[in-house]
A = this chain, B = another copy of it.
Amino acid sequence: MNAQELVARTLADIAARDRDLGAFVAVCDAAQAKHECERALASGGALQGLPVGVKDILDTAALPTCYGTPLFAGHQPRSDAAIVQAIRRAGGVVVGKTSTTEFAFLHPTATRNPRVPGHTPGGSSAGSAAAVAAGLVPLTVGTQTGGSVIRPASYCGVVGFKPGYGALPTPGLKPFSWSLDTVGLFTANVETMALCAQAISGRPWAQGLEDGAAPVFGVAWSYPWESLSASGRTALERAVAALRTAGATVREVTLPAWLGEVFSAHDVVQGWEASRALADEYAFERDRLSPTLRDYLAQARGVTDAEYAAAQDTAAAGRAALGELFDGIDVLLTPSAPDEPPPGYGSTGSSSFNRAWTLLHVPCLGVPGATGATGLPMGVQAITPPGEEALCLRAGWHLQQALA
């Protein structure tokens, strides 16, 4: 099957199967797909026509971009987001837009979890996680401001990768909090992730993926944001046991006290910035926002400059102290999410296990393969120092192999 055929089959597959899933909110027509495929192949990029879904919080010039809200229904940006341009140059073909929660915040999408019927797929990158989990496309793009890549990957049982802040380009992303908004990716396995992330970023992140010994893992059993749930403990124990069986070194670590301050600082940074990034929407179209977002923005407007400055200082101090966190270990393991995917579609779950890392700007890779207390998917997250995306992926590959 050549690239044109693969793209055509992907579109047919989406047409046939996505009605019940709700992962896509817009797809290319046949002519657009053919044109995009020709451009991708002409680029000579490593992805060679791979079909890609892009979260609808990122601008596309050929497809409407609605940011998950009726305020932007039918909105057609003039230019592609930089990540879309980078994907095309890497040989990828953007075949459609995947659902996002309203402005990538908490109000749920209509997307279903293909792995766990009746449970949320998570958010905000709901469609991107679900599309990969359902096998509709091999690669999707998401964004994370709190836990919007790693959490839905955990709930849907796929690999989610949030590289370091800014390592994948953010221009053309409708901002929520510009110090936090980070572009990430979803795939079915770590090998595909490493190859795709390398091709798009231009950085040698896949080098040595399967070579050599496993890195030294650290694991913590106590967290400053909340206690480990039964599912969190089960998943982490399973990962640690599997890694040790595979011959890897796993050290128990105590997380530094400042990590709790970083966690608290996340809300402050996000609130100050969101109340500016969405100021017009709040000022002029408040009644068309979800109550969740409206109430959040009403409260966020109260964050003072002094609180914001202190929170940014806390974040900067945390980044400067990361050597302490990684003392004696290469990679930190935590649950990807506090629990299994919650039942129902009223909530997208909690980002408590993600927020501090997003604010610290460090690479995070969510790896599926563990399960929680009731047997539903639980991801385990590998976290590395800044700039260590290749190490993060290599650690994730060892984790994936151990859990298999």
**A interface with B by C-beta (< 8 Å):** 39, 61, 72, 75, 77-80, 82, 85-86, 88-89, 166, 169-175, 178-179, 181, 202-204, 272-273, 275-277, 279-280, 283, 305-306, 308-309, 312, 316, 387
Contacts and interface: CB of A to CB of B under 8 A. Distances in A.
A202 B308 contact: yes
A203 B280 contact: no
A85 B170 contact: no
24 contacts: A61-B280, A75-B78, A77-B78, A79-B174, A80-B280, A82-B273, A82-B276, A82-B277, A89-B276, A169-B178, A170-B170, A171-B171, A171-B175, A171-B178, A171-B181, A202-B305, A202-B308, A202-B309, A203-B305, A203-B309, A203-B312, A204-B305, A204-B309, A316-B387
Contacts of A174: 79, 171
Contacts of A309: 202-204
A272 B202 contact: yes
Q: Which of A171, A279, A387 is the most central at the interface, judged by chain B CB atoms within 10 Å of its CB?
A: A171
Contacts of A178: 82, 166, 169-171
B173 A279 contact: no
A175 B169 contact: yes
- Please provide the 7 A-B residue pairs with the shortest distance between their CB atoms, ordered closest to farther: A171-B175, A202-B305, A169-B178, A85-B276, A202-B308, A85-B279, A203-B309
Contacts of A171: 170-171, 173-175, 178, 181, 277
Contact of A85 (B79, B172, B179, B280): B280
